[in-house]
Structure 1
Amino acid sequence: MYNKFLAEKIIKNALIEDMNYGDTTTDILIDEHSISEAFMIAKEEGVIAGLPIAEIVFRLLDNKIAFQFIKEDGEHVKKGEQIAIIKGSTKNILKGERLALNIIQRMSGIASKASAYADRINGYNTKIVDTRKTTPGLRMLEKYAVRVGGCFNHRFNLSDAVMIKDNHIKAVGSIEKAVDRVRKNIAHTTKIEVEVTNLKELEEAINANADIIMLDNMDIETMKKAVAITNRRAILEASGNVTIERIKGMAEIGVDVISVGELTHSVKAMDISLMII
């Protein structure tokens, strides 16, 4: 579900950022041989994500620390429930506390938001996907959290697929020219997606044999017409101004995919604490 080598690299960089010359307070106050036990506790209801990543924090600091999962990623927890136990060096538990919490709080916030969106269209044949509107450097972890919450991933980066957007079309001259130029220069395994803003552009994208067509900022009635016009000749993705209130109406008209930037770009972190006992 995630690349463990990349996850370790992310955590190492974050640890360097947080204590490039050590932890002044902990190194002075805490005895080298002190051993403690601590609990991670959910301070509000939500869906947990990032426990294996939090474990990496403590393992990189001290491979003798024991990290015990009480809950698993994807589980719904209530306020006050324990989600993990950490046992080992007091110094290293304290050094990893903030980073581990920052990661699991953000990832759980994303998973909780994704879960709410997924529940909203339960029973429909429409997938909710994320976007590239992620925190720089944390995309892999945030997209993993989206999947934990029950939604799906769009492309991970600019290399994954072709997405011809409005500025590409303006620069080249037309949808047909853009698709033709791209198709001559990509592998047969690469999909081509085209962003359109009206039904005329939709027809152009269909005639150019685009694999996926993004309906950008269209109202429900226009999207309904777009579904009828396309008639399964391309995958239709609804995007722009997507809210949890509008999502069911979009799914009802039969679009295949709905991309939601809110899953990652402005999510509220879930409140989780770590307490030494």
Structure 2
Amino acid sequence: MSARGGVAELGDIDRIIATALGEDLGSGDMTSRLTVPATAVARGRIIAKQALTFCAGPVVVRTFEQVDPAVTVELCVDEGARVAPGTEVIRLAGPARALLAGERTALNLLGRACAVATSTHAHVEAAGPKLRVVDTRKTMPGLRALDRYAVRMGGGHNHRNDLGAGVLIKENHIRCAGSVDAAVRAARQHASHAVRVECEVETLIEVREAISAGADVLLLDNMDDETLREAVEIARNQNERVLLEVSGGITLARLPSLATIGLDLVSVGALTHSAPSVDLSLLFELP
């Protein structure tokens, strides 16, 4: 397995797996108990049936460790690798009942991670080397650690993990504070010197206001390309060190154009909230 990814990067993955197994095996596996001899052993191969970015092999290992440590799992490709249709990505062997018990949970988690990694890879390729692609908190509830890991394996980067991990002033904060200026100055006054203050802005007037108030990062939200070019010019003239992030209306087709504007970051909720399913299958072989 590549050193690029592993269990240590997955956070509380054992809790995620245990919850998923509990949903599927809460009352046992009646069909396997009635039809598969307790002594039966089998081998299995997980096959990628489409081109994808492979991710979360260690999750499959941990899943079967929880089901039955007698199952052996061999990862055939590295984390983050691009694989072609028909590629064997994982080999399994062990008690047949255990393989059947863990099959759906393993494929669900593997499929989710590969989908996010594959989508992220496509966005990173479209954005090119200078525009950094980052995720959002629009993750699947309960699966944030897995989703964020998959973004990294797809070549993307993570935004803040949770509400306590950074200052991001958005539209409703501004309404409560009274103005962009008031919100940014309040955050700047009370936040640690080690914390960047980011502010969402929707107009060129707000761009100027946020920078004047001391924002370190601007989130340029729902602006067309022409307005973005103006925003970049204003920001660079006012404070050349301010980071510029764009969000809203981001598509694969638009990314090459955004990469020419002079932005630093593009945040894409679709990496995690709309990642299309990938096609994986687990094929059993009896010895």
Q: Is TM (by shorter chain) over 0.5?
A: yes
Task: Say yes or no: does 1:19 pair with 2:25.
Answer: yes
- Give the alignment partner of residue 112 of structure 2, picking from 106, 114, 120: 106
Task: Say yes or no: does 1:275 pair with 2:283.
Answer: yes
Q: CA deviation at 1:65?
A: 1.1
- Give SS of 1:187's match: coil
Label 1:34 to 1:51 Cα distance change in 2 as closer, same or farther (>3 A): same
- Give the alignment partner of residue 50 of structure 1, picking from 50, 56, 67: 56
Which residue matches 1:77? 83
- Give SS of 2:74's match: strand
Identical aligned residues as a percent: 38
- Give the alignment partner of residue 247 of structure 1, picking from 255, 276, 282: 255
Cα deviations by residue, 1:19-69 (Å, 9 ceiling, x for unpaired): 112111112222222111100001111111111111111011111211001
Q: CA deviation at 1:265?
A: 0.6
Which residue matches 2:229? 224
Task: Say yes or no: does 1:169 pair with 2:174.
Answer: yes
Take 1:133 and 1:149, find their aligned partners in 2: how far apart are those partners? 17
Q: CA deviation at 1:157?
A: 0.9
Q: CA deviation at 1:263?
A: 0.7
- Give the alignment partner of residue 196 of structure 1, picking from 192, 201, 206: 201
Which residue matches 2:124? 118
Task: Say yes or no: does 1:214 pair with 2:236.
Answer: no
Take 1:190 and 1:12, find their aligned partners in 2: how far apart are those partners? 35
Which residue matches 2:46? 40
- Given that 2:128 and 2:259 are in contact with CA atoms closer than 8 Å, whether structure 1 keeps it comes out as no
- Give the alignment partner of residue 246 of structure 2, picking from 238, 243, 248: 238
- Give SS of 2:150's match: helix
RMSD, matched Cα:
1.2
- Given that 2:127 and 2:258 are in contact with CA atoms closer than 8 Å, whether structure 1 keeps it comes out as no
Take 2:255 and 2:11, find their aligned partners in 1: how far apart are those partners? 36
> Aligned ranges for residues 120-139 of structure 1 at < 5 Å?
120-123=126-129, 125-139=130-144
Which residue matches 2:16? 10
Which residue matches 1:141? 146
Take 1:27 and 1:268, find their aligned partners in 2: how far apart are those partners? 34
- Given that 1:107 and 1:269 are in contact with CA atoms closer than 8 Å, whether structure 2 keeps it comes out as no
Query: Which runs of no fewer than 5 residues in structure 2 stay unpaired?
Result: none
- Give the alignment partner of residue 67 of structure 2, picking from 61, 71, 85: 61
- Given that 2:11 and 2:145 are in contact with CA atoms closer than 8 Å, whether structure 1 keeps it comes out as no
Label 1:88 to 1:153 Cα distance change in 2 as closer, same or farther (>3 A): same
Cα deviations by residue, 1:94-152 (Å, 9 ceiling, x for unpaired): 000001101111111111111111111223x2101111111000011011111111111
- Given that 2:9 and 2:149 are in contact with CA atoms closer than 8 Å, whether structure 1 keeps it comes out as no
Query: Which runs of no fewer than 5 residues in structure 1 stay unpaired?
Result: none
Label 1:4 to 1:75 Cα distance change in 2 as closer, same or farther (>3 A): closer
Give, as a single letter, the amino acid of the residue that structure 1 aligns with 2:208: E
Q: CA deviation at 1:266?
A: 0.9
Q: What is the count of residue pairs matched by the alignment? A: 276
- Give SS of 2:140's match: coil
- Given that 2:42 and 2:94 are in contact with CA atoms closer than 8 Å, whether structure 1 keeps it comes out as yes
> TM-score by structure 1 length?
0.96
Which residue matches 2:163? 158
Take 1:161 and 1:28, find their aligned partners in 2: how far apart are those partners? 53
> TM-score by structure 2 length?
0.93
Structure 1 outlier segments of 4+, above 6 Å: none
- Given that 1:238 and 1:259 are in contact with CA atoms closer than 8 Å, whether structure 2 keeps it comes out as yes
Q: CA deviation at 1:180?
A: 2.1
